[in-house]
Structure 1
Amino acid sequence: MKNNLLRGSDALYSACIWLSGGSIFVMSLIIPWGIFARYVLGTGSRWPEPISILLMVVFTFFGAAAAYRAGAHIAVAMVTDRLPRVLRQLLVYVVHALMALVAVFSTIYGFKLCIQTWGQNIGEIPWMPVGATYLPVPLGGLITLIFIVEHVVFGSQHQRAIVTYDHATPEPETI
């Protein structure tokens, strides 16, 4: 059961990384097109800017979830590194609790925002509902919450043994 949960979490983490990276990649193609269309062709395209903003939101929320799981999020450790070990361990749980609070807030109010704005359309992209552009907020919050629970229950991903999955055997092998 534990290995299946960790395998699912690994897949979710990988999906977040690919989605974030793909967003940056597509954005790096769209922005030059917008510049080319405006200054070379003399006709500015209306869609590159809102699509790029949407991709940046996708990158931000899914990338933040992946960074949290990887322990690569911004952390100022100057003060905490000087505290006694017991206080440092306590602060780890305080940080997880505060992050969980933020993730729950983002998830609940993000979904409410999506629902309330779903009937509106973006002027430059009339086929896209405004609520769809806000979906990365609650989804990123939910994924972050999953990673927080994983960290509290199973520990940091850095402190677990490297596991390879052989599809022929039901149990993973530890390297």
Structure 2
Amino acid sequence: MEAKFQAVTRSVLRIVDRTTDTLALTGLAAMVVVVSWQVFGRFVLSDSPPWAPETALVLLAWLGLLGVAIGVREHAHISVTFVTDRLSRRVRTVVLWLTPALFLVFGIYLMIQGWDFTQLTMNSTLPATGLPTAVQYAAMPVTGVLVTIYSCLQLLNVETGRGALATPEDGEEEGENRDDQ
């Protein structure tokens, strides 16, 4: 039963990870294109497109919040180990458990409050693009869902980092330790 759970978890997590990474990379590429076009328009054509700054801000909001979720997944957030390194092994274990638990609370908060805020902004539009303002704020509940998923899995001792999902088909050995890289 546990092997089946692990296999299903890995498959679902691989899809979620690839989707998240694809969204982040596509958003980053789009932001580079939009900002470059804005600079080109302003300094070369002397006519900056009015939609460019607003579009760049929407993309920045999405990239920043998706970065939070990716950081939780990869255990890449800044941590100060000065104090925890001096704690006993038992207390350090509690602190290491507390980190994903607090991220879980944060993810749930983002889901609930982000959803409410997105709903509140559904009827207003962004002035330059005419998009619903909710497009900008929808990044909050999406990030909340991702952070909640990654935190729950980490609390269940399922490794969520990129190397954890490697399979022999991906060209890596199943038990390979990725911490060395």
TM-score, length of structure 1 as denominator length = 0.87
Over 3 Å counting, the alpha-carbon distance change for 1:161 and 1:97 in structure 2 is: closer
Q: Which runs of 5+ in 1 are unaligned?
A: 167-172
Match of 1:169 in 2: none
What letter corresponds to residue 14 of structure 1 in structure 2? R
Confirm whether residue 101 of structure 1 aligns to residue 76 of structure 2.
no
- Is the CA contact 1:61–1:137 (under 8 Å) kept in the aligned structure 2? yes
Q: Residue deviations 1:37-86, cap 9 Å, x none?
A: 11221112111111111111111112221221111122122211221111
* Percent identity of paired positions between Structure 1 and Structure 2: 21
3-state SS of paired residue (1:154)? coil
Q: Structure 1 CA distance, aligned partners of 2:160 and 2:111?
A: 23
- Is the CA contact 2:14–2:165 (under 8 Å) kept in the aligned structure 1? no
How much is the aligned-residue C-alpha RMSD, in angstroms?
2.1
How many residue pairs get aligned? The number is 168
Q: Structure 1 CA distance, aligned partners of 2:139 and 2:149?
A: 15
Match of 1:3 in 2: 7
Residue in structure 2 matching 1:85, options 89, 92, 105? 89
Q: Structure 1 CA distance, aligned partners of 2:160 and 2:168?
A: 14
Q: Residue deviations 1:6-55, cap 9 Å, x none?
A: 22112211221221122111111111110111122111211111111111
Over 3 Å counting, the alpha-carbon distance change for 1:53 and 1:161 in structure 2 is: closer
Q: Which runs of 5+ in 2 are unaligned?
A: 176-181
What letter corresponds to residue 100 of structure 2 in structure 1? H
What letter corresponds to residue 72 of structure 1 in structure 2? A
How far residue 165 of structure 1 moved from its aligned partner, in angstroms, is 5.4
